[in-house]
Structures are given as C-alpha cells and as structure tokens.
C-alpha cells in the first residue's frame, strides 16, 4: 500500500468514526427529548419515597388536581418560590388540589436544613427522585420546573423557572376539580 492510499484510508476511517460519534450524540439527545411529557399528554405514572418514609404514586392523585414541583436544595429560585407554594397548598388542598415537591436527590438532612433556613415555615409533601427517572420522564430542566396536572391525569401546563404567588394561584385554580 503506497503512502497516498494509506492516507486516504486513514481519512475515511476517521470520517466514519466522527459520523458514528455524531449519530450517537444525536440519537441520545433526541431520544430523551421525545420521551419527555408535554402539555396535553397523560402524566406518567411513578412511585417515589416520601420524606416520611411512605410511598406516593401518580395514581394516588386520581380525581384531584396535582402540582408537581421539581426542585433542589442548591436552587436559589426554589428557595424563593417554596413559601408561596406552601401557602397556596394550605389554601387549595381542601379543594382537592395536591402538591408534591419532588427533590432530585435523597438527602433528608439537606432537605430539613433547606426548610429550616427559609424565612417562612413550609409544609409540603416531599418525595425523592434519586435516579432522576421521574424528572427525565417529565423532561425537567431547569430547576425549578412545575408540572400542572388536572383531575383526569392530563398535563395542563409546564412552568420552567420560578413562580410567583399569582402564578401559583392561577395554576391551582386551573386544576381545581
């Protein structure tokens, strides 16, 4: 094999490797996006462990409006919206609207420190999504992201970023059965 043929063979092999890598990256990115839930879709079923040790499933909320709030203790906007979410939850839970604050790691001590460090007391059911399976199913990015689900289990809205008090009220009103 002469030098010229050898050089062309190397270029072809390198090009094929680059194309294979590009295809793998493209497939991974588009596959995860296509699995994510969207407005109008059925809310994916899940089962998570709550802070109190019990388990919670999406099907537990059948017939109720649901606000799933995905958050992390390291998230500054989460700290700002959590008190308003808790206050509205207290007002709407008697109207069959539930809130589940889904923390993306199982770190009970950090969650307790997070809540004790807030200016206002917060009383929300908290569940742990240790492997980000639920966050991935719902296409969660960035934190906080809130998924609003109606009594029929349909996703009504996906709010990315921090919510204010009025936005939370509007979402809760929209899924009150």
Which residues are CB-neighbours of 9 under 8 A, at least 6 positions away? 1
For residue 160, list its beta bridge partners.
Answer: 145
CA distances from 86 to 9, 21, 29, 99 (A): 64, 46, 35, 8
Note the pLDDT of residue 38.
Answer: 93
Spell out the residues 6+ positions from residue 100 whose beta carbon is closer than 8 angstroms to its own. Answer: 56, 66, 67, 68, 69, 124, 125, 126, 127
Q: Inter-axis angle of helices 76-92 and 165-174, to 10 degrees?
A: 50
- What is the value of pTM for the model shown? 0.80
Per-residue confidence (pLDDT) for residue 14, from 0 to 100 = 87
At residue 31, the pLDDT reads 54
- B/e letters for 135-153, b = 16+ CB within 10 Å, e = fewer, are bebbbbeebbbbbbbbbeb
Residue (of 152, 161, 169) closest to 65 by Cα position: 152
- Parts of the chain with a pLDDT under 50: 32-34
Q: How far apart are CA 95 and CA 174, in angstroms?
A: 12
């Amino acid at each position: 094999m002469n030098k010229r043929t050898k050089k062309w063979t190397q270029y072809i092999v390198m090009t094929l490797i680059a194309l294979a890598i590009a295809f793998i990256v493209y497939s991974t990115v588009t596959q995860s996006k296509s699995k994510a839930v969207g407005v109008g879709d059925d809310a994916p079923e899940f089962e998570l462990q709550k802070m109190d040790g019990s388990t919670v499933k999406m099907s537990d909320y059948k017939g109720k409006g649901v606000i799933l709030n995905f958050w992390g203790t390291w998230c500054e906007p989460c700290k700002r919206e959590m008190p308003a979410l808790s206050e509205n939850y207290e007002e709407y839970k008697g109207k069959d609207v539930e809130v589940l604050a889904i923390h993306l790691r199982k770190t009970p001590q950090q969650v307790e420190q997070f809540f004790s460090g807030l200016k206002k007391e917060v009383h929300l059911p908290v569940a742990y999504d240790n492997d980000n399976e639920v966050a991935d199913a719902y296409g969660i990015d960035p934190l906080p992201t809130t998924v609003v689900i109606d009594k029929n289990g349909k996703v009504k809205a996906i709010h990315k970023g921090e919510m204010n008090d009025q936005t939370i009220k509007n979402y809760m009103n929209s899924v009150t059965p």
